[in-house]
């Protein structure tokens, strides 16, 4: 293994603690929907020597490195190049009807941030790429070149929660008439110039815009909205899911779906709750769990994390045709 950017997985021990009860039986299947460099995967495969493991990732570089890292576990490991909203299709292709555990560690990976040429960081000059899957067509540079002003303003508002979205969108459209925006340094320079001096002290002007572009390039929120319900449906009774989210937009999607699945659907006033109205899931943590001060000090990537977890209580309800 030549890759030297192995970071400590966020909330590793807590994640193991929450998923462990579901992985106790031989042959239990664990899915890591966001494999990355395989840090969580390696820990689970070591501690649960009788589980099978399915790792999904859209990043082919990450998959190659994880394949090398996890090679010693042999046939217990199945790695698949895919976007995680295809979790049910992947499991069907592997002949797995239901799984015991599912882990999501959302957002951009440490490796993607560290590799300058991927263009995820506003602090280093690189081509404006931002693709998690380098076989995809849409890049950040293409968005900046082709989206109209209203569309740019929308994604900066919705995905970056950027109050200066109209100003930034207008400046980008003006600038591209003169010269295309192709590198992170060009975009950062434009954003700094467009930001009132008083607001520059509130944080780097590029942070929210880069987040919004990354989310749009990779369709992260739309994919997540499909992936969480699909993952919940893939869990067997007693199966557990753990989701680590790093920004409020992701966490909101997870919170909403888990809340809906852990609530009774019985009509108000019904004297007896029928079995089909009982909650499908029970929440395993109260609200969103944060990293401890000790973990934040030792692993800075854990600072914004929000952990949510749930356990399936009864079989998945059949959907109407």
* CATH number, position 163: 1.10.150.170
116 pLDDT higher than 60: no
> Of the candidates 190, 218, 246, which is a domain's last residue?
218
User: Does residue 163 sit within a domain?
Assistant: yes
Asked if residues 309 and 241 have their Cβ atoms less than 8 Å apart, the reply is yes
Burial of 262 (0-12, 13-18, 19+ CB in 10 A): middle
277 pLDDT higher than 70: no
128 phi-psi bin (left φ>0, alpha ψ -120 to 50, beta other): beta
Both ends of the chain: CA-CA distance in Å? 49
Span 8-36, average pLDDT: 96
Highest mean pLDDT among 116-130, 217-231, 257-271, 291-305: 217-231
Kindly state whether residues 51 and 132 are assigned to the same domain: no
Beta bridge partners of 79: 55
pLDDT band at 197 (very low <50, low <70, confident <90, very high): confident
3 pLDDT higher than 60: no
Asked if residues 206 and 187 have their Cβ atoms less than 8 Å apart, the reply is yes
Structure tokens belonging to residue 31: 């899915």
Q: Mind listing the pLDDT tens digit for each residue in 127-154?
A: 999 999 988 999 999 999 999 999 999 9
User: Does residue 321 sit within a domain?
Assistant: no
User: Does residue 4 sit within a domain?
Assistant: no
Torsion sign, CA atoms 252, 229, 133, 101: positive
Structure tokens belonging to residue 223: 């994919």
> Of the candidates 218, 252, 267, which is a domain's last residue?
218
Q: Which residues have a Cβ under 8 Å from the Cβ of 245 and sit 6 or more positions away? A: 104, 106, 107, 251, 254, 288, 305, 306, 307, 308
Kindly state whether residues 124 and 190 are assigned to the same domain: yes
The residue count for the chain: 321
Span 70-96, average pLDDT: 97
Kindly state whether residues 35 and 23 are assigned to the same domain: yes
What's the confidence (pLDDT) of residue 119? 64
Span 193-207, average pLDDT: 84
CATH number at residue 103: 3.40.50.150
Kindly state whether residues 213 and 123 are assigned to the same domain: yes
What's the confidence (pLDDT) of residue 269? 64
Q: Which domain holds residue 181?
A: 118-218
Please give the full DSSP string across 236-279, using - where no structure is assigned: EEEEEEEEEE-SHHHHHHHHHHHHHHTS--PPTT-SS--GGGS-
List the binding residues.
38-40, 57, 84, 105, 112
Give the number of domains in the chain.
2
Kindly state whether residues 306 and 186 are assigned to the same domain: no
List the binding residues for S-adenosyl-L-methionine.
38-40, 57, 84, 105, 112
């Amino acid at each position: 293994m030549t890759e030297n950017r192995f970071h400590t997985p966020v909330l590793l021990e807590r994640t193991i603690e929450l998923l462990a009860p579901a992985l106790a039986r031989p042959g239990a299947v664990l899915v890591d929907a966001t494999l990355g460099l395989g840090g969580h995967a390696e820990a689970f495969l070591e501690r649960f020597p009788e589980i099978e493991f399915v790792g999904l990732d859209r990043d082919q570089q990450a998959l190659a490195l994880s394949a090398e890292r996890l090679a010693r576990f042999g046939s217990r490991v199945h790695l698949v190049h895919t976007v995680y909203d295809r979790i049910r299709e992947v499991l069907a292709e592997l002949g797995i009807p239901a799984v015991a555990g599912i882990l999501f560690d959302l957002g951009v990976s440490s490796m993607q941030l560290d590799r300058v040429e991927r263009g995820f960081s506003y602090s280093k000059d690189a081509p404006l790429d931002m693709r998690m899957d380098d076989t995809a067509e849409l890049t950040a540079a293409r968005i900046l070149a082709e989206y109209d002003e209203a569309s740019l303003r929308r994604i900066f508002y919705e995905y970056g929660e950027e109050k200066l979205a109209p100003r930034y969108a207008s400046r980008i459209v003006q600038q591209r008439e003169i010269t295309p925006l192709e590198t992170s340094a060009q975009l950062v320079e434009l954003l700094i110039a467009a930001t009132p001096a008083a607001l520059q002290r509130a944080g780097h002007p590029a942070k929210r815009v880069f987040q919004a572009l990354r989310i749009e390039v990779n369709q992260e929120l739309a994919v997540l909205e499909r992936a969480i319900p699909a993952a919940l449906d893939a869990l067997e009774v007693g199966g557990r899911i753990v989701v680590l989210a790093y920004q409020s937009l992701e966490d909101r999607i997870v919170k909403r779906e888990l809340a809906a699945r852990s609530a009774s659907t019985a009509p108000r006033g019904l004297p007896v709750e029928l079995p089909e109205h009982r909650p499908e899931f029970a929440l395993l943590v109260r609200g969103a769990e944060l990293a401890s001060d000790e973990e934040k000090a030792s692993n800075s990537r854990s600072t914004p994390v929000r952990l949510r977890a749930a356990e399936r209580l009864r079989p998945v309800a059949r959907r109407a045709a």
